[in-house]
Structure 1
Amino acid sequence: MPFINLKTTKTGLLAPLFLLSIIAFGCNHSQPGSKKRELISFRAYNGINYSEVSRRMRNGLSFNEYGYQLEPQWKLKFVSDDSISIFSPTKNAFINFPLTRGYDSIFNAARSWLKVRTISKDSITMEILIQKGDSLDVKGTKVFMRFFADNYIKNVLHTDTSILRRPSRKDTLFIEGLSAKANADYNKAFAARQPAKITSRNSMVTVSQRTTRPDIMNNFDNSDDYLDPTYDIVINKAYKDFYFSFTMYIDDKGRTYYGYPLIGLDDEDTKADYIHTSKAVMESYLKLYLNIKPGSTLGMIHSSMVSVHVEGKKAK
């Protein structure tokens, strides 16, 4: 389901996916002497199929500096003032959800808080809101979802959603700038929308990439598959049994550089030994027996980072 949820990745970025639960905004209470604000009504727009065509930050970009991409995904239809139908790509069907209206064009549906900025029979602009503790931040996230009616797309714009959802020229220029910095210094690597690919070129080494199945436990979000591409590598007939977890930078030429351990090591001597030995595994086994294709975003190849879990199995 296309729920919007809050998620913090290990890079520290806040992915604009959103929340559950509802507080007193569903009630239309007014303070004494204040002007009563009516609940928004969707009656005039019931039955119209809308498709999301863009999801952008206030600066007009759909990418941030970490490589996270805001993707327009929603398809919706207002059924009534207390019901909305949202398309589920996992079920390939529209699912009805309760819709709870709050004050000042705010509503909650499909575990998400949204504020309608503009609405007509042709288009809708909504801002994503987030819940902080037991209150709702009505100042908004400055992340805006833009919808067009399917009829408007087909009969007025004479196009389709796949074209309208393409990244903008501004996105392209932004990624060009990030790529130039990352390729000049791999320490400035960012997540590749098409992650670096690691495959084996030797029968004694097997490689498998971890993938996320969208489900209720991860709020139907699998963005970690490109934000943190993770590989399990098994080396048979190794010099001894071992297991190391660490990150690797992969530059635009497919060259690898050691990042940092993925386990906690408080003792400095133990940490130094772990880094020394796992780096030696990378410089020997991984560089000798792996094929590495660098990652890219919008067709631009650039430095990025992957996580690897490397197991060595000594010959019996």
Structure 2
Amino acid sequence: MLLINLKTLKTAAFGLLIIISAFISGCGGGPSGKKKRELISFKPYNGINYSEVSRRQKNGLSFNEYGYQLEPQWKLKFVSDDSVSIFSPTKNAFINFPLTRGYDSIFNAARSWLKIRKIDKDSITMEILIQKGDSLDVKGTKVYMRFFADNYVKNVLHTDTTTLRRPSRADTLFIRSLAAKATADYTKAFAARQPAIMTSKSPLVTVSRRTTKPDILNNFDNSDDYLDPTYDIVIKNAYKDFYYSFTMYINDKGRLFYGIPLVGFNGEKEIEADYIHASKAVMESYFKFYLNVKPGTTLGMIHSSMVSVHVEGKAKTAAK
């Protein structure tokens, strides 16, 4: 099933998009009696504009097996050892934030803990760290951010960040293998980067897809819009009033297959069986005749994926 726990990877990737200043104090030196390591200094790199060109896992891929994509999005400029300017896509401007240095090469900025693996005037490699309660997991997430200086991209590489941010050949081969498996067996579906699209072909049916506006409440993370695309469907003149919530597989040909109910039954097996029977019948009748379905794609490859639906039936009201 696609409804799995992606919390760790999502926290690592999208915690970086927070654009508010709520920072945690930096860590101190080592245990008593041990020499304290010097804090990293950003002074040699102040004023250089860096753009993130890749964000990858240890295996070199930006996708995982569930279709979740790590996207390079940051632009930054170190102002001093205690200040960094980060580009806000929502405000379309650079904003200065406090920078708190921990021990060694660890620092905190924009509510994200990061560890410098390599830095020079042309490039930076950082590893994302995760805070667990009152402690920091310095072993890292094995998710790495790569930055190039804008001047280096333009005058040395003679390209642009849009080109450098494209998925790699390894990403393409990986997605191709996932797509082949999902085509052979729809239950091996994974999240489509361009989700399946459902539209109505009848005035009796309205279809709307839920979208998330990135904001402070969701850590500027709207990845669920493609990890779990959700549709609200209203059917007029239904055989009776009803409301069902369930998941569906949509295969590479646009065919629909029932997934699971999205409600609990407290162990009442008979009620659950009736619910599945009735909601599946709605899918196999109304959806078949009244919906146009376009399967999802990732990197241009069509494959099976999953959606969540909330369907309401409104019985025809007798004329007075």
**TM-score class, shorter:** over 0.9
Report the 3-state secondary structure (helix = DSSP H, G, I; strand = E; otherwise coil) of the residue aligned with 2:244: strand
Map of 2:155 onto structure 1: 155
Structure 1 residue runs without a partner (length 5+): 1-8
* Post-superposition offset of 1:40: 0.4
Instruction: Look up the equivalent residue of 2:15 and give its one-letter code.
Output: F
Instruction: Look up the equivalent residue of 2:166 and give its one-letter code.
Output: R
- Aligned pair in 2 of structure 1 residues 227, 169: CA closer, same or farther (>3 Å)? same
Q: Report matched runs for 1:127-166 at 5 Å.
A: 127-166=127-166
Q: Report matched runs for 1:23-38 at 5 Å.
A: 23=25, 25=27, 27=28, 29-38=29-38
How far apart, in 2, do the equivalents of 1:258 and 1:30 lie? 56
* Post-superposition offset of 1:199: 0.2
Report the 3-state secondary structure (helix = DSSP H, G, I; strand = E; otherwise coil) of the residue aligned with 1:292: strand
Map of 1:300 onto structure 2: 301
Q: Is the 8 A contact 2:26 2:101 kept in 1?
A: no
* Post-superposition offset of 1:104: 1.5
How far apart, in 2, do the equivalents of 1:314 and 1:241 lie? 5
Q: Is the 8 A contact 1:250 1:305 kept in 2?
A: yes
* Post-superposition offset of 1:21: 4.9
Map of 2:69 onto structure 1: 69
Map of 1:11 onto structure 2: 4
- Kindly report the root-mean-square deviation, in angstroms, between the aligned alpha carbons of the 2 structures: 1.2
Instruction: Look up the equivalent residue of 2:314 and give its one-letter code.
Output: K
Structure 2 residue runs without a partner (length 5+): 17-21
TM-score where L is the length of structure 1: 0.95
Map of 1:268 onto structure 2: 269
* Post-superposition offset of 1:23: 4.7
* Post-superposition offset of 1:133: 1.4
Map of 2:203 onto structure 1: 203
1:79 aligned onto 2:76: no
* Post-superposition offset of 1:244: 0.3
Map of 1:22 onto structure 2: 24
How far apart, in 1, do the equivalents of 2:44 and 2:112 lie? 22
* Post-superposition offset of 1:18: 2.8
Report the 3-state secondary structure (helix = DSSP H, G, I; strand = E; otherwise coil) of the residue aligned with 1:18: helix
* Post-superposition offset of 1:13: 1.9
How far apart, in 2, do the equivalents of 1:132 and 1:89 lie? 28
Map of 2:19 onto structure 1: none
Q: Is the 8 A contact 2:26 2:108 kept in 1?
A: no
How many residue pairs are counted as aligned between the two chains?
306
* Post-superposition offset of 1:172: 0.4
Q: In the TM superposition, what whole-angstrom CA distance separates every residue of 1:283-312 from its partner, at most 9, and x where no partner exists?
A: 000111000000000000000000000000
Instruction: Look up the equivalent residue of 2:200 and give its one-letter code.
Output: S
Instruction: Look up the equivalent residue of 2:295 and give its one-letter code.
Output: P
Map of 1:57 onto structure 2: 57
How far apart, in 1, do the equivalents of 2:68 and 2:261 lie? 23
TM-score where L is the length of structure 2: 0.94
How far apart, in 1, do the equivalents of 2:59 and 2:104 lie? 24
Map of 1:175 onto structure 2: 175
Report the 3-state secondary structure (helix = DSSP H, G, I; strand = E; otherwise coil) of the residue aligned with 1:60: coil
How far apart, in 1, do the equivalents of 2:4 and 2:191 lie? 10
- Aligned pair in 2 of structure 1 residues 103, 238: CA closer, same or farther (>3 Å)? same
Map of 2:240 onto structure 1: 240
Q: Is the 8 A contact 1:18 1:113 kept in 2?
A: no
Q: Report matched runs for 1:176-195 at 5 Å.
A: 176-195=176-195
Instruction: Look up the equivalent residue of 2:222 and give its one-letter code.
Output: N
Report the 3-state secondary structure (helix = DSSP H, G, I; strand = E; otherwise coil) of the residue aligned with 1:56: strand
Map of 1:4 onto structure 2: none
How far apart, in 1, do the equivalents of 2:234 and 2:247 lie? 16
Q: Is the 8 A contact 2:15 2:111 kept in 1?
A: yes
Report the 3-state secondary structure (helix = DSSP H, G, I; strand = E; otherwise coil) of the residue aligned with 1:33: coil
Q: Is the 8 A contact 1:23 1:134 kept in 2?
A: no
Map of 1:6 onto structure 2: none
* Post-superposition offset of 1:30: 4.0
Instruction: Look up the equivalent residue of 1:161 and give its one-letter code.
Output: T
